Amino acid sequence: MDFNLTEDRRMLQDSLTRYLGDKYPVDHRNKVAYALPCHDPAKWEELAELGALFALAPEDAGGFGGTGFDIMVVFEALGRALNPEPMLGAAMASRLLTKVGADQEGLLSGAVKYAVAVGEVEAPYELDQIACTATAKGDGHVLSGRKSSVYGGQAADVILVAAMLDGKPALFQVQASDAQIAGYPMMDGGGAAEVLLDDTPATLLLADAAEALTDALNAGALALCAEAVGAMEVTHATTLDYLRTRKQFGVPIGKFQVLQHRAVDMLTEIEQSRSITIKAAAELDGPDASRFVSMAKNLIGRAARLVAEEAIQMHGGIAMTWEYPISHYAKRLVMLDAQLGDTDYHLSRVMAGLRAA
C-alpha cells in the first residue's frame, strides 16, 4: 500500500501546476474560455511540450504514462487551474487509438487535436442507443446522424465517431473539415460542438467497438472526476480564505460555527471524492472499471455540487459576480456532472450491479 505519487508523476504534477499557475491564470482563462475557439492555441502547444499529452498514453503507444493514475494527475492539475484546453477529447481519443493500435504521435505532440463523439441528443450517455449510422461506400464508409455535446469538437482536427455498423457500435475517424461542426462555448467555459454528419466520409477503426468505447468513456469520466477534485480543493481553500478575512458583526465570519461546520462538511466530501477517484484510477484497466468509475462519478457529482453551492452561499454576493474566480469554479463543478454520465446515470450503473450480484 502506497498513497504517494511516483517521482515522475509528482514532477509532472508540479510542472503542470506551476505552468498553469504562472501562464494560465483564471483571468486569462476567462478571456479565452467563453468565446470560440474556447482555448488558447499557443498555450495548447506549451502544455503539450510539458508532456501533458504524452502522459495520457502508455510507452508502447509512444507516451510515458497511460494509466488511471496518469490521467488523474494531469486532470487534477487542469482542474485546479480551471483549464479550458480540449484535453478531455485527447485523453479519450488516446485510449481509443491505443486500443486499435493506431499511430498517435500527432495527438501526443499536440499537433493534431482530437475529439470523441459518442453521445447524441436523445442518448447523451448510452452506447446502446446510438442512432448515427455507418454505411459502406466505395473503399470506406460514410456516416449520417447528429453527434451531440462533443467536447473539444469546436477546435478539433479529427473526430472519432461512434456509429452503428451492422447493428453494433463501431468506431470511425472523421476529418473535422469533412463534417458540419457547430461549435459553442459552454456555460462553465471551454468548448463543445454539435457534429452533423450527412454521408460524411469516415475511416473505420474498429467494427465492434462497444468495449473500447466503454473504456474511453470510463477514462473520460475518471478525468472529469480528477478535474473536479482539483477544482473542489481550490474552491474550498478560497472559501476558507474568505471566511478568515471577511468581517461582519465585527468578527471574521469564519468564527461562526454555522459556517465552520459546513466548511468541514465540504472538506469531508472532498476527501471522499479524492478517495473514490484514486480507487477508480486504480481500477481503470481492471475488469470492474465501469463499476468503480461510476461510483466515482456519482459521488463526485454529489460532492461537486455541494462544494459549488456552499462556496457561493458562504461567500455571499461576491461569488455571484463574473469577476470573482469562485463563480467560474462553481459553474464548472456543477456543469461537469452532465458530462459523460451524470449522478443518476452512474448510480443506475451501480444499481445494475446490485441486481446482478
Partner 1 sequence: MDLSFSPEEIAFRDEVRTYLAENLPKRISDAVRNGTEQTKEMAEEWHAILNRKGWLATTWGVEFGGPGWTPVQKHIFEEECCRAYAPRIVPFGLNMLGPVLQAFGTKEQQDTILPRILDGTDWWCQGYSEPGAGSDLASLKTRAVRDGDHYVINGQKTWTTLGQHANKIFCLCRTDPEAKQQEGISFILVDLDTPGIEMRPIKLIEGGHEVNEVFFTDVRVPVSNLVGEENKGWTIAKFLLTHERTGIAGVGFSMQSLEEVKALARKVRRGGRPLIEDPLFAARIARAEIDLEAMKITNLRMLFKAQQQGAPGPETSILKIKGTVIHQELKDLARRALGPVAAPFPGSMTDGNIMFGPEGTSNNAARYFNNRKTSIFGGSNEIQRNILTKTMLEL
Give CA–CA dist 292/286, Å, rounded: 10
Name the residue with cell 466520409.
201
Q: How far apart are CA 88 and CA 85, in angstroms?
A: 8
Least Å from the CB of residue 280 to partner 1? 10
At residue 133, φ and ψ (nearest 5 deg) are -115, 155
Contact between 331 and 188 (Cβ < 8 Å): yes
- Cα dihedral 187→192→195→201 (10° resolution): 180
Q: Which residues of 9-23 are buried (b: 16+ CB within 10 A; e: fewer)?
A: beebbeebbebbeee
For position 279 contacting partner 1 by CB under 8 A, the verdict is yes
Residue with cell 456509429: 163
- Contact predicate 284/219, CB 8 Å: yes
Residue 261, interface with partner 1 (CB under 8 A)? yes
Q: Which is nearer to partner 1, 239 or 339 (CB)?
A: 239
Binding mask 290-329 for partner 1 (x = CB under 8 A): --x--x--xx------------------------------
**Among 180, 260, 313, 321, contact with partner 1 (rule: CB under 8 A):** 260
- Per CB under 8 A, the list member of 255, 335, 338, 342 interacting with partner 1 is 255
Half-sphere CA count of 162, side-chain side, radius 13 A? 31
Binding mask 62-91 for partner 1 (x = CB under 8 A): -------x----------------------
Q: Is 204 in the site for partner 1 (CB under 8 A)?
A: no
- Count of residues interacting with partner 1 (CB under 8 A): 43
H helices of 252-288, in order, are 257-283
Kindly tell me which residue out of 37, 254, 325, 341 binds partner 1, with binding defined by CB under 8 A. 254
Query: What cell does 295 get?
Result: 461510483
- Which residues share a beta bridge with 120? 123
Stretch binding partner 1 (CB under 8 A), from 25-33, 51-59, 129-137, 247-255: 247-255
Residue 244 touching partner 1 (CB under 8 A): yes
Residues numbered 2-61 forming contacts with partner 1, rule: CB under 8 A: 2-6, 9
Least distance from partner 1 to the Cβ atom of residue 50, Å: 21
- Residue among 144 and 272 whose Cβ is closer to partner 1: 272
Specify whether the CB–CB gap between 174 and 143 falls below 8 A. Answer: yes
Site of interaction with partner 1 (CB under 8 A): 1-6, 9, 69, 240, 243-244, 252, 254-255, 257, 260-261, 263-265, 267-268, 271-276, 278-279, 281-282, 292, 295, 298-299, 347-348, 350-351, 354-355, 357
